A and B are shown apart, each in its own frame.
Chain A
Amino acid sequence: AQTVTQSQPEMSVQEAETVTLSCTYDTSESNYYLFWYKQPPSRQMILVIRQEAYKQQNATENRFSVNFQKAAKSFSLKISDSQLGDTAMYFCAFMKHDGNQFYFGTGTSLTVIP
């Protein structure tokens, strides 16, 4: 079975600063996908960034980047130049290569302080 662990229930960061959210996972699969999703208060869950396990290069999307360490089964999210709109719950998720089922972590509540 796959498990996803987010060990930081809550975090805060000053506006314009950088913050890193942690995620570890456990799997026996060799190829899979990892995701970070954002859920703003009372808003729809949206994809922030995606990483394929067979790609060594870390994914980046504007201010968002990941540090993917396959051997350590670690997938952290770095948010640079934090903005007030980044305040949200962030969920790390895992999907096997067959595309069936997403496994979510317990989430990290991030607050950006003005």
Chain B
Amino acid sequence: EADIYQTPRYLVIGTGKKITLECSQTMGHDKMYWYQQDPGMELHLIHYSYGVNSTEKGDLSSESTVSRIRTEHFPLTLESARPSHTSQYLCASSEYRTGGDTEAFFGQGTRLTVV
């Protein structure tokens, strides 16, 4: 099992609330990613980071923000949650290694419902 953890697993929150989804990995990976995924659907990259103090927006526009102060943590924050933010959020990390054993490791996801 991968050493990447997301909390909470499930969250139901009211409109307008501020929330932070946590993601931590213990593998020392430089690269971390946030994907948004509706149930049974494709993954959309919303944020990524190549290391501490590096953050970039992904292909899908998102009202969320991220930070990368420490290698292990890559939290995602919604300043004011809306029903349109209801989705599953997947965190992943990877480390490029020569020799071919590169892969992305995924957390278990946070299923967010905004009511």
Contacts and interface: CB of A to CB of B under 8 A. Distances in A.
Interface in B46-102: 48, 50, 90, 92, 94-96, 100-102
B103 A47 contact: yes
Interface in A63-85: none
Contact of B94 (A99, A105, A109): A99
Interface residues of A, number: 25
A35 B40 CA distance: 19
* Chain A, interface SS category: strand
A89 B40 contact: yes
Contacts of B48: 101
Contacts, number: 60
Contacts of A43: 108
A112 interface: no
Given A99-B94, A102-B94, A52 B42 contact: no
A102 B103 CA distance: 9
A100 B102 contact: no
Interface string B18-60: 0000000000000101010000111101001010000000000
Contacts of A95: 94, 102, 104
A44 B2 contact: yes
28 contacts: A33-B100, A33-B102, A35-B103, A44-B1, A44-B2, A44-B107, A44-B109, A46-B106, A50-B100, A50-B101, A91-B43, A95-B94, A95-B104, A98-B96, A99-B31, A100-B31, A100-B96, A101-B33, A101-B45, A102-B33, A102-B92, A104-B35, A104-B42, A104-B43, A105-B42, A107-B40, A107-B42, A109-B40
Given A102-B92, A107-B40, 20 more contacts: A35-B103, A44-B1, A44-B106, A44-B107, A45-B90, A45-B106, A46-B2, A47-B104, A50-B103, A55-B100, A89-B40, A95-B94, A95-B104, A99-B102, A100-B50, A101-B45, A102-B33, A102-B104, A104-B43, A106-B41
